[in-house]
Amino acid sequence: MPKIQLLSEDLINKIAAGEVIERPASVVKELMENSLDAKATSIIIEIENYGKDLISVRDNGEGMDETDARNSMVRHATSKIKDVQDLFSIHTLGFRGEALASIAAVSTMSITTKQQGRMEGFQITMEAGRIIQEGIIGAEEGTTIQIKNLFFNTPARKKFLKTDSVELRHIIDVIQRYALINHQVSFRLLHQGNELINSPSMADLRSKVASIYGIKAAKEMLGVQYDHEGIRIYGLVGKPSQSRNDKSQQAIFVNKRWIKNEDISTAVYDAYHSLLFVNTHPLLVLGLELDPARIDVNVHPTKSEIKIEQKEAVVNAVFTAIKEALQSHNLTPTVEMEEQLTFGTPRRTLPKTGIKYAFDSSAQAVFTVNESSSGSEYASAEEVSIAPEQGFPEDIPATVAFPALKILGQVHKTFFVAETAGGVFFIDQHAAHERLLFETLKRQFAGKKIARQALLFPKVLECTLEEIQILRQYAEEIAALGVEIEDFGGASQVVKAVPAVLGRSSVEEVMAGIFARFGEPGSGRGGVRAEEVLSDMACKAAIRAGQSLSPKEAQALLDEMQRAEVFSHCPHGRPVAKSFTPHEIKKWFYRG
Tens digits of residue pLDDT in 92-116: 786 666 778 889 889 999 999 999 8
Question: Domain containing 172: what range?
Answer: 9-199
Q: Tell me, yes or no, whether 186 and 211 share the same domain.
A: no
Q: Tell me, yes or no, whether 43 and 177 share the same domain.
A: yes
Work out the average pLDDT over 68-77: 80
Nearest CA-CA partner of 55 in 3, 1, 99: 99
Q: Tell me, yes or no, whether 58 and 192 share the same domain.
A: yes
Would the pLDDT of 452 be above 60?
yes
Query: For residue 69, is it within any domain?
Result: yes
Q: Tell me, yes or no, whether 166 and 60 share the same domain.
A: yes
pLDDT value of residue 521 = 62
Under a CB-based contact definition with an 8 Å cutoff, are residues 237 and 286 in contact? yes
Q: Tell me, yes or no, whether 170 and 226 share the same domain.
A: no
pLDDT value of residue 567 = 61
Q: For residue 483, give the 3-state DSSP assignment.
A: coil
Number of domains in the chain: 3
Final residue before a domain boundary, out of 304, 327, 350: 327
Q: Tell me, yes or no, whether 444 and 499 share the same domain.
A: yes
Between 522 and 495, residue with greater pLDDT: 495
Distance (Å, whole) CA 516 – CA 138:
65
Under a CB-based contact definition with an 8 Å cutoff, are residues 143 and 23 in contact? no
Distance (Å, whole) CA 346 – CA 338:
16
Share of the chain above pLDDT 70, in %: 77
Q: Tell me, yes or no, whether 238 and 305 share the same domain.
A: yes
Q: What letter represents residue 520's amino acid?
A: E
Q: What letter represents residue 108's amino acid?
A: T
Helix (H) or strand (E) holding 526: helix 526-541
pLDDT value of residue 82 = 63
Between 445 and 527, residue with greater pLDDT: 445
Q: What is the CATH number of the domain that holds 497?
A: 3.30.1370.100
Q: In whole numbers, what is the pLDDT of the chain averaged over residues?
A: 78
Helices (H), 240-310: 262-272
Final residue before a domain boundary, out of 175, 199, 223: 199
Nearest CA-CA partner of 181 in 57, 285, 315, 299: 285
Distance (Å, whole) CA 49 – CA 150:
11
Work out the average pLDDT over 244-259: 88
Query: For residue 384, is it within any domain?
Result: no
Between 154 and 188, residue with greater pLDDT: 188
Q: What's the Cα-to-Cα distance from 404 to each of 66, 216, 335, 575, rounded to whole Å?
A: 78, 32, 11, 20
Q: What is the CATH number of the domain that holds 130?
A: 3.30.565.10
Q: Tell me, yes or no, whether 192 and 43 share the same domain.
A: yes
Nearest CA-CA partner of 482 in 448, 459, 432, 456: 448
Distance (Å, whole) CA 371 – CA 562:
8
pLDDT value of residue 332 = 37
Q: What's the Cα-to-Cα distance from 413 to each of 446, 538, 545, 559, 569, rounded to whole Å?
A: 34, 19, 6, 19, 20
Distance (Å, whole) CA 370 – CA 325:
26
Cα 110 to chain centroid distance, Å, stands at 38
The residues, ordered by sequence, that sit 6+ positions from 41 with a Cβ below 8 Å of its Cβ are 60, 184, 185, 186, 201
Between 242 and 184, residue with greater pLDDT: 184
pLDDT value of residue 81 = 59
527 band by pLDDT with thresholds 50, 70 and 90: low
Q: For residue 17, give the 3-state DSSP assignment.
A: helix
Q: Tell me, yes or no, whether 473 and 529 share the same domain.
A: yes
Q: What b-and-e string marks burial along 326-351, b requiring 16 or more CB atoms within 10 Å of the CB?
A: beebbbbbbbbbeebbeeeeeeeebe
406 band by pLDDT with thresholds 50, 70 and 90: confident
Q: Tell me, yes or no, whether 29 and 145 share the same domain.
A: yes
Q: Tell me, yes or no, whether 313 and 195 share the same domain.
A: no
* β 577-580/423-428 pair status: antiparallel
Distance (Å, whole) CA 324 – CA 272:
10
Q: What's the Cα-to-Cα distance from 317 to each of 295, 325, 335, 524, rounded to whole Å?
A: 16, 12, 31, 15
Between 485 and 353, residue with greater pLDDT: 485
Query: For residue 359, is it within any domain?
Result: no
Q: What letter represents residue 175's amino acid?
A: I
Distance (Å, whole) CA 572 – CA 247:
18
pLDDT value of residue 108 = 95
Q: Tell me, yes or no, whether 182 and 214 share the same domain.
A: no
Distance (Å, whole) CA 140 – CA 59:
10
Query: For residue 553, is it within any domain?
Result: no
pLDDT value of residue 234 = 96
Write the DSSP string, 122-161. EEEEEETTEEEEEEEE---SEEEEEEESTTTT-HHHHHT-
Count of H helices and E strands in the chain? 18, 24
